[in-house]
Amino acid sequence: MEPVITRFPPSPTGALHIGGARTALFNWLFARSRGGKFVLRIEDTDIERSTEESVKAILDAMEWLDLNWDEGPYYQTHRLEVYREYAKKLVDSGHAYWCECRPEDLEERRKAALAEGRKPKYDGACRDKGLSEGPNRVLRFRTPQAGTTLLQDIIKGPIEFENEELDDLVILKSDGIATYNFAVVIDDITMGITHVIRGDDHVNNTPRQILIYRALGAKLPRFGHMPMIHGEDRSPLSKRHGATSVMEYKKMGVLPEALLNCLVRLGWSHGDEEIFSRDELIEKFSLENVGKSPSIFTMEKLLWLNAHYIKEKRPEDLTGLLRPFLTERNYPGKPDAFLAGAIRTLQPRAHTLVEMADAMRFYMVEQIEFEPEAAKKFLTADMAGVFSRLIGELSALSDFGEASLEPVFRNTAEDLKVKLGKIAQPVRVALTGGTKSPGLFEIMEVLGKQSVIARLQKALRYMEQ
């Protein structure tokens, strides 16, 4: 089997979005699953719209998702000479010609064609003029005017295009810079790309590209065009649907594993499985299982996956990931072991790292504030006896583990003839400020004796007021 080489060629005109990230992932996965190579190429020939900042944003996102590449990043603007060399081959073989039509004349002829109900394509005025290169001239590809071009798409099946529908497209602009359809073909040829997997917004470019391969006598890669990604309202995913850039999900506290898992299911399936580790994906991925219809991205699904991956991680591994979110909240610094203990208690419920960082508050701040409603309802004067007793008993404990804490509460409840359930909520308010938290003994063990007793004392003072 010939070695697989795939590529991801983003245009650096903005951040890496969900759609682009899925394209990158599918190409990466296909290469990895076939023991092939994955090439990263920055398509920056649109000089006006390309920015350094976007390049950096895209590379950051690729790194965050851990989609490692074997070659590149190549930059098209560093390869302009290569495109010119291939352009010359096309001129020499009669497949390209120089055109001196002025943009304003082209525009006029285009309007006239439209007005007369004709296709507004280039009328071929310079096709047979035999012009040579010169100022203000563009190089056009001589598209066959009859016949058809067949795209054998791995995902969509065969699609046939009438050549007469296609323009004599510009391959070098008057400033000498190659256009997208030309540069992409030359790159794919010279980089040995075997599979071009991209969004189906590029389907209409493909026959033009195939004709350039043919004119150069180059072997065609296999093409696979993936259906669009839609939002929940079944319209193409856009800003309207909320965050679309990959790094915004990072800021929301989504783990890269969860986003990748979510992305892979946008179009690809393996039975009814939902959760895939990286290794499983590499083992199971195939282009045959990419569907033909648009897939739907939902936040709900992403959060469900994220909760799963948060739960699965070792608390020690989450501390580093959570730290920036804690710092952002100006919480005081704490040792890793303390954080890991706190995280362990919050893992079962958190959907995002943001949610977890918010929930960490009572662990992090020295002075917690009682939620007024909760304090009024639970820190009542009749609990003062229970609290005094608990403070006494807990102060005497030398081991503050869950197993030693439980009997203290049971005995206190029995001796003072109150139901254990009646004690739990006031203690929870005392320790966390609110009425929702992980298990009491778990959080007490994490907080430690000194902090627990100080918080119970503060609550006792409140009751006695």
Nearest Cα to 73, choosing from 41, 48, 117? 41
Which residue lies nearer to ligand GLU by CB, 205 or 404? 205
Q: How far is the CB of 14 from ligand GLU (least distance, A)?
A: 10
Pairing of strands 157-162, 148-153: antiparallel
Q: How far is the CB of 10 from ligand GLU (least distance, A)?
A: 5
Residue 98's CB is within 10 A of a number of other CB atoms, namely 17
Q: How far is the CB of 12 from ligand GLU (least distance, A)?
A: 9
User: What contacts 328, CB < 8 A, 6 or more positions away?
Assistant: 357
Which residue lies nearer to ligand GLU by CB, 49 or 102? 49
Taking contact as CB under 6 A, which single stretch among the options 8-16, 151-159, 327-335, 441-449 is the one that binds ligand GLU?
A: 8-16
Residue 247's CB is within 10 A of a number of other CB atoms, namely 16
Taking contact as CB under 6 A, which single stretch among the options 4-12, 143-151, 171-179, 370-378 is the one that binds ligand GLU?
A: 4-12
Residue window 164-193: x/- pattern of binding to ligand GLU, with contact defined by CB under 6 A:
--------------------x---------
Within 38-77, the residues that bind ligand GLU by CB under 6 A are 43
Within 373-392, the residues that bind ligand GLU by CB under 6 A are none
Which residue lies nearer to ligand GLU by CB, 9 or 73? 9
210: which 2 tokens?
A: 């195939």
Instruction: List % helix, strand, coil for the chain (3-state, nearest 5).
Output: 50, 10, 35
Taking contact as CB under 6 A, which single stretch among the options 3-11, 145-153, 292-300, 389-397 is the one that binds ligand GLU?
A: 3-11
User: What contacts 294, CB < 8 A, 6 or more positions away?
Assistant: 227, 228, 229, 230, 234, 236
Of these, 198, 225, 250, 351, which contacts ligand GLU (CB under 6 A)? 198
Q: Is 11 in the site for ligand GLU (CB under 6 A)?
A: yes
- What number of chain residues touch ligand GLU (CB under 6 A)? 7
Q: How far is the CB of 184 from ligand GLU (least distance, A)?
A: 5
Which residue lies nearer to ligand GLU by CB, 17 or 455? 17
Which residue lies nearer to ligand GLU by CB, 223 or 249? 223
Q: CA–CA separation, 465 vs 453, rounded Å?
A: 19
Instruction: Kindly report the length of the chain.
Output: 465
Of these, 6, 9, 31, 211, which contacts ligand GLU (CB under 6 A)? 9
HSE, side-chain direction, 13 A CA sphere, residue 393: 17
Q: CA–CA separation, 376 vs 372, rounded Å?
A: 6
Taking contact as CB under 6 A, which single stretch among the options 9-17, 283-291, 296-304, 352-360 is the one that binds ligand GLU?
A: 9-17
CA distances from 451 to 30, 90, 315, 432 (A): 53, 78, 22, 11
DSSP assignment string, 180-245: HHHHHHHHHHHTT--EEEEEGGGGGGHHHHHHHHHHTTPPPPEEEEEPPEE-TTSSB--GGGS--B
Considering just the CA atoms, what is the radius of gyration of the chain in Å? 32
Catalytic one of 239, 313, 334, 419: 239
CA distances from 24 to 10, 82, 199, 359, 443 (A): 9, 25, 10, 34, 42
Please indicate whether residue 377 is annotated as part of the active site: no
Taking contact as CB under 6 A, which single stretch among the options 5-13, 51-59, 116-124, 260-268 is the one that binds ligand GLU?
A: 5-13
The footprint of ligand GLU (CB under 6 A) covers 9-11, 43, 184, 198, 202
Which residues are part of the catalytic machinery? 239
